[in-house]
């Protein structure tokens, strides 16, 4: 293990955490998005991360969409209502997104804490012998 491997691993984790937070923010921002019946409804994005094979951190390997069925609401007066009077809403579980946001923020903060602690340890080591 190299001198700065800890910092690099934590930085990769913070990068994944930031991508995760950004995806959740995008999902929450689109929770009320309604599209015309001929268009696909908005589906929440899911960040997929994987550990690097050499153990040097993690990377975002993809962003997928939820497979849950979007909810429908009966509103025949809405301009995007289908022929049955139903409006297809975004496939976003707001409560689940909020729970994921808490986990993503804690992951991001934990990685930043490791970076901060590692930097302080390296700075203290540099002062030895002065």
- Token representation of residue 96: 């689940």
Range of the domain at 80: 5-127
The share of the chain scoring above pLDDT 70, in percent, equals: 97
> What pLDDT was estimated at residue 106?
97
| pTM exceeds 0.85, yes or no | yes
List, for the chain, all residue ranges whose pLDDT scores fall below the cut of 70: 1-3, 129
Q: Characterize the bridge pairing of strands 72-74 and 45-51.
A: unpaired
Q: 118 and 10 in contact (C-beta within 8 Å)?
A: yes
80, exposed or middle or buried, with CB in 10 Å at 0-12, 13-18, 19+?
middle
Q: How many domains does the chain have?
A: 1
**Cα–Cα distance, 57 to 63 (Å, whole number):** 18
**Cα–Cα distance, 99 to 102 (Å, whole number):** 5
């Amino acid at each position: 293990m190299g001198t700065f491997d800890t910092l690099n691993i934590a930085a990769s984790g913070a990068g994944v955490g930031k991508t995760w937070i950004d995806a959740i923010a995008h999902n929450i921002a689109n929770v009320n998005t309604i599209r015309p019946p001929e268009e696909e409804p908005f589906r929440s994005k899911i960040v997929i991360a994987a550990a690097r094979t050499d153990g040097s951190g993690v990377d975002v390997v993809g962003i997928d969409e939820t497979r849950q069925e979007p909810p429908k609401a009966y509103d025949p007066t809405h301009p995007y209502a289908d022929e049955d009077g139903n409006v297809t809403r975004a496939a976003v579980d707001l409560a689940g997104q909020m729970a994921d946001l808490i986990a993503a923020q804690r992951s991001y903060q934990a990685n930043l804490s490791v970076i901060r602690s590692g930097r302080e340890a390296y700075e203290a080591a540099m002062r030895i012998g002065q």
